[in-house]
């Protein structure tokens, strides 16, 4: 499926999330050492990339959809983001029992965005006008760590 240019960066980031989701589900039955490694990879990806992806959606795409009358879809995305954040907090406490639920939730969230939310945005919004808001060039100096939004 051809994705609108403005949504391509967000769509591409879903690949990383899906890889992590699969690893999290699989690790749920692995050894404690393997689980710890997957938790660390997941938290690193969350802090370096995924949280910024969610915040971009929450500050640009979802408000635009709400303004266009698509409140239910935006509410679903927000609820999914909240569920993912709650599971990440469990992973921060090294709760390996949160691995499979996080992976399953992430997989469902990506599926929802790719199959429902993004096509809805393409039909409902002027994404060309939103292009800058949806793109997040990494302007941090190489030595500066990513945003640390542990409670975001």
> For the whole model, what pTM was predicted?
0.86
Span 14-21, mean pLDDT? 95
Per-residue pLDDT reduced to its tens digit, 86-131: 999 999 999 999 999 999 999 999 999 999 999 999 999 999 988 8
* DSSP letter string, 72-135: HHHHHHHHHHHHHHHHHHHHHTT-GGGHHHHHHHHHHHHHHIIIIIHHHHHHHS-HHHHHHHH-
Whether the predicted pLDDT of 144 surpasses 90: no
Are 49 and 16 spatial neighbours (Cβ–Cβ below 8 Å)?
yes
Nearest CA-CA partner of 101 in 27, 5, 9: 27
Which pLDDT band, with edges at 50, 70 and 90, does 150 fall under?
very low
Predicted pLDDT at 135: 77
Average pLDDT, the chain: 89
Residue 77 has which token pair? Answer: 């995305």
Estimate to the nearest angstrom the gap between the alpha carbon of 92 and the chain centroid.
17
Per-residue pLDDT reduced to its tens digit, 56-89: 999 999 999 999 999 999 999 999 999 999 999 9
In the chain, % helix, strand, coil (3-state, to 5) comes to 80, 0, 20
End-to-end CA distance of the chain: 32
Are 8 and 134 spatial neighbours (Cβ–Cβ below 8 Å)?
no
Which pLDDT band, with edges at 50, 70 and 90, does 132 fall under?
confident
C-alpha gyration radius of the chain = 16
Nearest CA-CA partner of 76 in 49, 25, 116: 116
Are 70 and 120 spatial neighbours (Cβ–Cβ below 8 Å)?
yes
Span 123-152, mean pLDDT? 61
């Amino acid at each position: 499926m051809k994705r609108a240019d403005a949504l391509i960066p967000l769509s591409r980031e879903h690949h990383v999330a899906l890889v992590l989701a699969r690893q999290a589900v699989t690790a749920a039955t692995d050894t404690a050492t393997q689980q710890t490694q997957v938790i660390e990879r997941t938290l690193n990806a969350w802090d370096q990339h995924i949280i910024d992806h969610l915040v971009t959606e929450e500050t640009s795409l979802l408000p635009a959809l709400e303004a266009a009358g698509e409140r239910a879809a935006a509410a679903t995305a927000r609820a999914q983001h909240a569920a993912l954040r709650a599971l990440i907090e469990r992973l921060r406490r090294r709760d390996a029992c949160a691995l499979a639920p996080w992976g399953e939730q992430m997989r469902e969230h990506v599926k929802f965005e790719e199959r429902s939310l993004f096509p809805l945005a393409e039909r409902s919004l002027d994404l060309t006008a939103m292009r800058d808001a949806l793109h997040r060039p990494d302007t941090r100096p190489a030595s500066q760590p990513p945003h640390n939004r542990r409670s975001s």
